[in-house]
Amino acid sequence: MIALLLAIPNIAAVLMMATLGLGIPVLGAGAAFIYLAAALAGARVLSWHGGRAPALVGGGLAVLVVAIAPGWLSRWQADDLETRLRASDVTRAIQPLPKTIELREPFASVMPAAPFETEPCGRECRALLMSGEVEWVRIVRQATQADLVSATRFRAATGAACPAAETGHGAGGRCVLVAPDDGARAALVVDATFLERSALADFQSSAPLAPNLRYGRRLTATMQGAHDPVFARTEASADVVTIPFLVWPSSRGMSSGGYEIWRVRQTIAPLSLAQMFGALGYARSMELAKTLSQGSANIHDPPAPEVVNRAVSALDLPANVAFNRTHLEFVNRWIARVVWTKPLPPQGVALVRRILLEPRMAWFGALDRLLTRPEVAPSLLPDMLDLLETRKLTAANDATRLSLIALRGACLCRAGAASRADHAHGGGAWSECGRHARDRSKIAMTDSEPEGSRSVATLLPPAARAAACRSRRRRR
C-alpha cells in the first residue's frame, strides 16, 4: 500500500516535510516491493519441485536477476553506443609536426563540464611547450558574453627568464609564460566543442533501459587552410541504470513525482587532450605531461611555480597590451594562493606592489588582505596614497575599494609605529586610528560630492598622513 501511495505525485515530498526527513527509509518501499515480488515469484516457481530449499534458491536467484540484469543490460547498450560513436572517429598522422597550435574551448565558468582543461594552458599545453615540440600555443576561451571571451598566447622559457622553474633547476629550468600575441595564425587549430543533448539525438536509443544521453564533447583538429580534420572524436555523458537496480520517487525541488529508475552518470567513449595529441604524434610531450604537477589542492600551500609564472608574465606584458579575462584570472589566482603565505617574502611584497600599481588591473580579489600585512603596509602606503590622489573614485579601476585598502593600511602603519607601551595599555593608537579610518572611509563612499572631486588622502587621520609623508620623503 505504501509503495502505491508513493507513486502519487507529491506524496513523497509531503512525507519528507512532515517527518523532517526521518521518513527517508520509507521511500524505498517501491524497491522493496519489487524485490519481494521477485523473491516470491522465484520461490513459487521452484517450489513446484517440492521442498523448502529449492524455494529459497529460486527466491535468491530471482532477487539477483532483478538486482543485476537491468544495470547489465544498460551497460551493454552503453558499450554499443561507444562503438557507434567511435565509428565516426578520424585520426591521421601529421608530418612534420605543427610548431604552433591554437586551442579553442568553451569558457569553464559558463559550462563547467565543457572544457578539456582545468585551467588555460594546462598540463598538456605546458608539456607541448616545455618539450620543445611546439613554439607557442594560443588558448581561445569562447563564450556568448563578450567580456568572458579571451585569446592568450603562451611560450616556453628557460633559466633566468623563468620566475620559477616548473621542471629542472638553475640554467636547465624550464617554464611556461604568457606572451604578447601578434595575431599570427597557428599551423594547427583544435576546436573543443560542447554538444547539447539535441546534437546527440541520432545516438539516443529508444530501447528499454537504454543510457539516457545528457551532453557530449568533441575534439576536432584541422591544419590551417585545410577542410578535412586530421583528428575528430566525440565523447558522450549518459545516465546508465545502477547495479543494484533501484526505483525511487522522483524529486523536483520541493515537489515529487512518480517512481523513476536510479541511474548513475557515465562517460561514454572518454576523450582527452592527451589522447588527441598523442595520436597526432606528440608522444614525447604527452610523456612529459604525466610528470608535471597541477599544483597543490591545499590552499594553505605556497603558490605552485606555474601560478607564479603566469602572474608575473601577465604583468610583464607590454603596456599597450590590454588585460583580458585570462590575464586577470592569472594574477588573482596568485593573490588567492599567496594570501595564506605568512610572512610574505620580499619577492612577494614586490609582486603585490606591481599588482597595486598596474593600471590594467580591473579587479583585485583579496589584495586588501595582503596590503594590511605588517610586512607589506609600511612600504606600500605611499604608493596607495599616490594612487588615490591620481585616480577617480570609479568602479572601473576599483579605486573605491582601494581607498578602503589605503585607509586600513594607514592604520596598520600607524599601529606599527606606536610604542610597545601604548599597545600594552590596550592598543590605543590602533583603536583610535582604526575607528577614525572607518568613519572617514564611510564618508568617502557616501559623500554627495562628485566622484574624484577631492583627494581621498585628505580623509586619512593626521597621524597616518604624517607617517605616510615621512615614508614618501625617505623613498625619494
Give the residue with greater pLDDT, 253 vs 433.
253
Task: Tell me the average pLDDT across 7-15.
Answer: 61
Task: Tell me the average pLDDT across 436-448.
Answer: 42
pLDDT digits (tens, 9 = 90+) for 92-145: 988 899 999 999 988 765 555 556 777 889 999 999 999 999 999 999 998 878
Q: What is the pLDDT of residue 134?
A: 96
Query: At residue 157, does pLDDT exceed 90?
Result: yes
In the numeric block, which cell numbers belong to residue 60? 535468491
Distance CA 6, CA 10 (A): 8
Query: At residue 443, does pLDDT exceed 50?
Result: no
Q: What is the pLDDT of residue 426?
A: 42
In the numeric block, which cell numbers belong to residue 41? 515469484
Give the residue with greater pLDDT, 317 vs 412.
317
Q: What is the pLDDT of residue 453?
A: 36
Contacts of 336 (CB under 8 A, 6+ apart): 299, 365, 366
Q: What is the pLDDT of residue 144?
A: 78
Q: What is the pLDDT of residue 265?
A: 92
Residue 188 is given by DSSP the state E
Q: Where are the beta strands (DSSP E) in 123-230?
A: 136-142, 150-158, 174-179, 188-195, 212-223
The secondary element (H helix, E strand) that includes residue 264 is strand 263-268
Query: At residue 78, does pLDDT exceed 70?
Result: yes
- State how far Cα 88 lies from the chain centre: 31
DSSP three-state, residue 318? coil
In the numeric block, which cell numbers belong to residue 57? 534458491
What percent of the chain stands above pLDDT 70? 70
Distance CA 346, CA 439 (A): 32
Distance CA 278, CA 284 (A): 8
- Please write down the long-range contacts of 248-257, taking CB distance under 8 Å and 24 or more positions apart: 248/27, 248/28, 248/30, 248/31, 249/6, 249/7, 249/11, 249/12, 249/27, 249/30, 251/12, 251/13, 254/13, 255/9, 255/10, 255/13, 256/9, 256/10, 256/11, 256/12, 256/13, 257/9, 257/10
Task: Tell me the average pLDDT across 316-338.
Answer: 93
Q: What is the dihedral of CA 28, 30, 34, 36, to 10 degrees?
A: 60
Other C-beta atoms closer than 10 Å to the C-beta of 182 total: 7
With 0-12 CB in 10 A as exposed, 13-18 as middle and 19+ as buried, what is 113?
A: exposed
Task: Tell me the average pLDDT across 388-401.
Answer: 59
Query: At residue 471, does pLDDT exceed 70?
Result: no
Q: What is the pLDDT of residue 274?
A: 93
Distance CA 411, CA 408 (A): 5
pLDDT band, residue 40 (cuts 50/70/90): confident
Query: At residue 449, does pLDDT exceed 80?
Result: no
Give the residue with greater pLDDT, 152 vs 436.
152
Q: What is the pLDDT of residue 172?
A: 84
Q: Please report, for the chain, the start and end positions of each structural domain, with discontinuous segments joined by +.
A: 2-86, 91-287, 305-475
Global pTM value: 0.78
What percent of the chain stands above pLDDT 90? 40
pLDDT band, residue 387 (cuts 50/70/90): confident
CA-based nearest residue to 460, from 430, 436, 428:
436
Q: What is the pLDDT of residue 375?
A: 86
Q: What is the pLDDT of residue 49?
A: 66
pLDDT digits (tens, 9 = 90+) for 158-194: 999 999 999 888 788 999 999 999 999 999 999 998 8
